[in-house]
Amino acid sequence: MHIEQQNGRNLKKDRFFYRCTVVILSAVLFFSGGKLSAQAATAVEEYGALKVEGTRLTSKKTGEAVQLRGVSTHGINWDVGYPYISKEAFQTLRDKYSVSAIRLAMYTTEYYGYCDKAGASESQSQVQSVLKQRIDTGVQAATELGMYVIIDWHVLNDQTPLKYKNEAKQFFKEISEKYASYDNVLYEICNEPNGGTGWEDIKKYANEVIPVIRENDGDAVIIVGTPNWSQDVDEASKSPLAYDNIMYTLHFYAATHKESYRDKLRTALNNGLPVMVTEYGVSEASGAGAINTAEAKKWLDLLDQNGISYFAWSLSNKAETASLLKAGTTKKSGWAKGDLSPAGKWVFKEYNARSGKASNEPGKVSKLKAKNLKGKKVKVTFKKLSNVSGYEIQYASNRKFKKSSTKRMTKTSCILKKLKKGKKYYIRVRAYRIISGQTYYGDYSSVRTIKIKK
């Protein structure tokens, strides 16, 4: 499976208040193109807390089956993972790429590991404090955006989860107490047991860790890894754990794991085992090598047919095939197609298509022009697009559009006012389309630069 290289408020929420807030937010109206339009509910607003029924993840609120399409971070221990833990990054994934859930992967060993810090200069307790803060940043961002989030105890080079069982129990005791009232938090208690670790060993570990979580959060969804790098779900299906709301992990990398591994999944489902794919890639198992989109499509088709949730590895710009961002890209959010790796382009195209978003997005605005007018004004014009609800113009005095201003309109020209003489401004525009209360945005146009002269 994916073998990694080394890399360099504590606030309890009241469940009643949280749910009331969700209801209020769901009813909020926003001004759009001269009309009032109800904003579409987020995944958590729509489904609320989750539970397991049969082999399916379902909503406690509506009773509907729920399928999550998610993304896993790289190790939040390192600079290829933690820079992307932010509200801005998660919102890009949600709004642009149809992602409804985030997996926070925290490695237990290797450099800056939670249980073994290796060569890190900080003390082990300092490392743990930093990692828990990164988890909290991720949980809070996902919660504000109405996204689900998995807290992942990322067993890998420690091979067996039993090695750091006591540390895991203490970690999940703290974490489950802190997030017990959060409807969007799921717990993954061991990532990829390997090195000959059998299902009986994993069960022994799970039978000690699960009760620790249940003391604080009696019905949260808990995800348990399976033998052989979380591939042998068929073995787990022969002797499942005696708890409710448990799911079992299957991982695959499409260029390596093909039909025989899909057969393992079919066996597990036939035996009634609830499965979640908390990690997959379109690359080889190493995370490198060629990508195989044909096999990846077979996998996603099978998962969709059975309503199984899946999370792509990984939200990172690391120079490996499995990374979703292009190697070396410096943007931490707001990624356009050109910022994505080949794997990222394929994954997000599939997510948008499978969620129905792709066909709803308007095209890209072209022929953007900007002209100086008297009184420190600029006239902006661009080519009209058919079948859109309106346009959104963004302008700022810096290339990165920090502290930018935004105007919404239905016409293809507008006047920007109250600009500063002698100042250079950067302008871009995108179209949007509102369908059943949901707003779909097209890509931004090319940027037009103009210096205010009059």
- Give the residue numbers annotated as catalytic, written as ranges: 192, 279
List, in order, residues 6 or more apart from 56 with CB less than 8 Å away. Answer: 65, 66, 274, 307
Backbone angles phi, psi at 414, to 5 degrees: -160, 165
Hey, what are 261's tokens?
Answer: 């591994």
The amino acid present at 370, given as its one-letter code, is A
Hey, what are 186's tokens?
Answer: 């799921």
Hey, what are 153's tokens?
Answer: 């105890």
Exposed/middle/buried for residue 63 (C-beta within 10 Å: 0-12, 13-18, 19+) = exposed
List, in order, residues 6 or more apart from 435 with CB less than 8 Å away. Answer: 360
The amino acid present at 262, given as its one-letter code, is R
Cβ neighbour number for residue 381 with a 10 Å cutoff: 15
CA–CA gap between residue 11 and residue 230 (Å, rounded): 33
CA–CA gap between residue 44 and residue 221 (Å, rounded): 14
Cβ neighbour number for residue 88 with a 10 Å cutoff: 12
The amino acid present at 93, given as its one-letter code, is L
Q: DSSP states of 404-436 as a string?
A: -EEEEESSSEEEE-SPPTT-EEEEEEEEEEEET
Hey, what are 341's tokens?
Answer: 């790796």
Exposed/middle/buried for residue 428 (C-beta within 10 Å: 0-12, 13-18, 19+) = buried
Cβ neighbour number for residue 200 with a 10 Å cutoff: 11
Q: DSSP states of 168-215 as a string?
A: HHHHHHHHHHHTTT-TTEEEE--S---TT--HHHHHHHHHHHHHHHHH
